[in-house]
Amino acid sequence: MKWLLPILLFAMSLIQAYAENKSTITIAAAANLASVVKDLKVAYNIENPGNEILIVTASSGKLAAQILNGAPFDIFMSADMEYPKKVFESGLALYPPKVYAYGKLLLLTAVHSPLSGGLSFLTQANIKKIALANPRVAPYGKAAAIALSNAGLFDSIKHKLIYAENIQQAAEYVAVSADVGFIAESMIYDNNRKEIIRSKINWVKIDTNLYKPIEQGILILNNSIRNPEVRKFYKFIFSEQAQKIFRRYGYQQP
């Protein structure tokens, strides 16, 4: 099973960290948070230098599946509320999920087309491949599909859609093969992605009348019950210091 190898590798990392007598916080973070959570880690460690923070990023659906199958995470930072609720309802979390940020969609294109008319340009013949994260496991992909449906375009362009495993891969598809891609707005502020954004030049924010800003939820998982440092990191996520980092990446505060 695809989820087994990440769990085994992660468990090995935990064993090594515990052997070194470090206070370890293990975080499962949605792919749209890949750079954000690294900045959060740096900021947290300035005040808490004795903590080892281990991070795994993937689509929210894949992370939830790993948690439901026993992955040893302490915190789950999802790109939606649906997956954290499912994990909580399965009895694997200490408290109900809480929204820590609201995310938004962006459309990135390698094709020089007028974007002021909304999403209708996606029907043009020169738009042959449209990338989005798999709606079945990625909340941003689901939001993109909803936006296309609400714009009355999904059926007419569905043959052009190519599905990525997560939002990071959707951005990479635009860099190498797709004409257009739905990505997280936070990526235009991401130093690791700026080269892709600059090379494509054309991007536009998706009208929030077509979808709801994405509620991103966080959970403290049962594995953390003996680690008080996990609660400190959870509390930090809602601090002004952490929220400044989220705002820097274009997220809205809850």
Give the residue, 17 or 151, on which the prediction is more confident.
151
Q: Mean pLDDT, to the nearest integer, of 98-125? A: 84
* pLDDT value for 18: 46
Residue 176 has pLDDT above 90, yes or no: no
Q: Could you tell me the domains of the chain?
A: 4-102+215-248 (3.40.190.10), 105-205 (3.40.190.10)
Q: Mean pLDDT, to the nearest integer, of 150-167? A: 96
- Provide, rounded to the nearest whole percent, the portion of the chain with pLDDT above 70: 85
Q: Mean pLDDT, to the nearest integer, of 37-65? A: 94
* pLDDT value for 218: 98
Q: Mean pLDDT, to the nearest integer, of 92-110? A: 93
* pLDDT value for 113: 63
* pLDDT value for 21: 41
Residue 188 has pLDDT above 90, yes or no: no
Q: Mean pLDDT, to the nearest integer, of 28-57? A: 93
Global confidence as pTM: 0.86
SS (H, E, C) the chain: CCCHHHHHHHHHHHHHHHHCCCEEEEEEEEHHHHHHHHHHHHHHHHHCCCEEEEEEEECHHHHHHHHHCCCCCCEEECCCCHHHHHHHHCCCECCCCEEEEEECEEEEECCCCCCCCHHHHHHCCCCCCEEEECCCCCHHHHHHHHHHHHCCCHHHHHHHEEEECCHHHHHHHHHHCCCEEEEEHHHHHCCCCHHHHHHHCEEEECCCCCCCCEEEEEEEEHHHHHCHHHHHHHHHHCCHHHHHHHHHCCCECC
Mean pLDDT of the chain: 87
